[in-house]
Amino acid sequence: MRCFFLLLFIVPFLLKGQGTDIEIGITGGTTIYVGDLSGSLSEYSTKDLGYTAGLFLRNNFNKHIGYRIGLSFSHLKADELNRRVPNKRALNFNNDLKQAYILGEWRLVNFLFADEKIIISPFIAAGGMVQLSDPHFRDITYGNIPLRKLGTEGQGIPGYPDYYESYLFSLPVGAGLSVMIKKRLTLTAEIIGNRVFGDYIDDVSSATVVFNDLLANPKGTNLALNAFISNPTLYPNPSATPYSRGGPAVDWFYLVQFTAGYRIKDSGASRRGGKKDSPCPTFW
């Protein structure tokens, strides 16, 4: 994984072409989780907003096409008690995602102002993202409890699936608006939706669980934490009735963020075709 992260930053410097523009920059913003614990949009609470930050390198091949690679950190969270109509089950999670990504960017059109000193470009983006995932449950008594090895859905118990992996792949797709100022500084506002391939970014899936099986295999010292966190409404009463903690909902998370990039290599490729000395805004 470390080699993959390193590769993302090395590749652009290996490019020998003269017709590319390269920027380095930072990102920051908020995260929105959508999944088994978020409820419907009408129930969503601003208390469940997370945050994201990162570094990136952008390579522009020409005035419309380029790509961005980067490393980021995104904090996701949700609590069923935060809903407008709280769910008495009271499941919650928080997850600090360590991410590496590549995004292709297509600037649909470029609007030139002030003799090309300001260029405004709406764009769309799509690519791939891999992340280290480590969901936790926050409890008043036991603090922030790591979930992946706890087995809240029977993982590790004979007859149940094995523990899920610590890494996840997602497909990011989004759109935004960029503003280039004086050929060097590029500011963007964007929203990127990530479709997660895997159902455990929140430790909750549609798997069938029997509470008695969890009680018979406690993963805690003073409390069968796996059973309690799996379904607090049943603990500690035995039950042989199968249940599912989640549903068929696909996990998503959204990054609503701003970026600031500084051009460290300027070939002029991404600006060719502009109309200089024009008194009015132009586009290309």
Q: Tens digits of per-residue pLDDT, 200-256?
A: 999 999 999 999 999 988 666 667 899 999 999 999 899 999 999 998 878 999 999
Contact by Cβ (8 Å): 266, 183: yes
For 110, the 3-state DSSP assignment is coil
Dist. CA 261–CA 189, nearest whole Å? 12
Cα-flanking dihedrals φ and ψ of residue 6, to 5°? -65, -40
Q: Which architecture does CATH list for 2-150+163-204+249-283?
A: Beta Barrel (2.40)
Residue boundaries of the structural domains of the chain: 2-150+163-204+249-283
Region 152-163: mean pLDDT is: 92
Q: What is the pLDDT of residue 173?
A: 98
Q: Would you place residue 67 in the very low, low, confident or very high pLDDT band (cuts 50, 70, 90)?
A: very high
Tokens representing residue 236 in the block: 């500690």
Does the pTM surpass 0.75? The reply is yes
Tokens representing residue 219 in the block: 């993963």
Q: Could you tell me whether strands 65-79 and 21-34 are parallel, antiparallel, or unpaired per DSSP bridges? A: unpaired
Q: Would you place residue 39 in the very low, low, confident or very high pLDDT band (cuts 50, 70, 90)?
A: confident
Residue 16 confidence (pLDDT) above 70: no
Contact by Cβ (8 Å): 116, 183: yes
Residue with tokens 């300027």: 266
Q: Would you place residue 20 in the very low, low, confident or very high pLDDT band (cuts 50, 70, 90)?
A: confident
Higher pLDDT, 283 or 87: 87
* CA nearest to 67, candidates 274, 261, 275: 261
Contact by Cβ (8 Å): 186, 178: yes
